[in-house]
Amino acid sequence: MPLLAVGEQAPNFLVKDNFGNDVQLTDFHGKTVVLWFYPKADTPGCTREGCGFRDKMPEFSHKQAQILGVSFDTVEENSAFAEKFSFNFPLLCDTQRQIGLAYGACDSKDAANAKRISYVINPEGKISHVYEKVDTTVHADQVLDVI
């Protein structure tokens, strides 16, 4: 699936987060949303990227930005990941690949893992930045620079 383009309306979704709560994109209307896809909970690159967002959370909050991690992991897997690393933002459990397919993070419902990509969605729900390649060590800073 192709990635969404800057200026496109971000597709809404409804999935469970790591707490088992229903989450949809429209819950964050009026805020900037950082939607970062990661391949697998509790793996080195995903941990590094998640910790980068965690450590910069005060700066994201100051800018009225909501961080949402997305993987194909279960609620239980993402819950353990979030607890282990004290993540202070929701991890979305896209077990049916609904978000992954809509945002080009996978090519089929059979995909084992999400591609490591990210989107910044503006307060009106439109894509403002697309990250097709992500360096997990500096990604949180890159995103902060554009919002």
Tokens representing 15 are 């999935």
Q: What is the arithmetic mean of pLDDT over 20-27?
A: 96
Query: What's the pTM?
Result: 0.94
Dihedral of alpha carbons 137, 139, 142, 147, sign:
negative
CB atoms < 10 A from the CB of 62, how many? 9
The answer, yes or no, to whether residue 18 has pLDDT greater than 80, is yes
| pLDDT for the residue 2 | 85
Residue 4 per-residue DSSP state: P
Examine the residue annotation and report whether 46 is marked as an active-site residue of this protein: yes
The answer, yes or no, to whether residue 1 has pLDDT greater than 80, is no
Q: Which of 46, 51, 93, 106 is catalytic?
A: 46
Reported as a pLDDT band with limits 50, 70 and 90, residue 77 is very high
* Residue-wise pLDDT tens digits, 82-111: 999 999 999 999 999 999 999 999 999 999
Nearest residue to 50 via CA among 87, 105, 19 = 87
Q: Are residues 40 and 71 in contact, defined by beta-carbon separation less than 8 angstroms? A: yes
The answer to whether domain 14-146 has CATH 3.40.30.10 is yes
Displacement of CA 37 from its chain's centroid (Å): 5
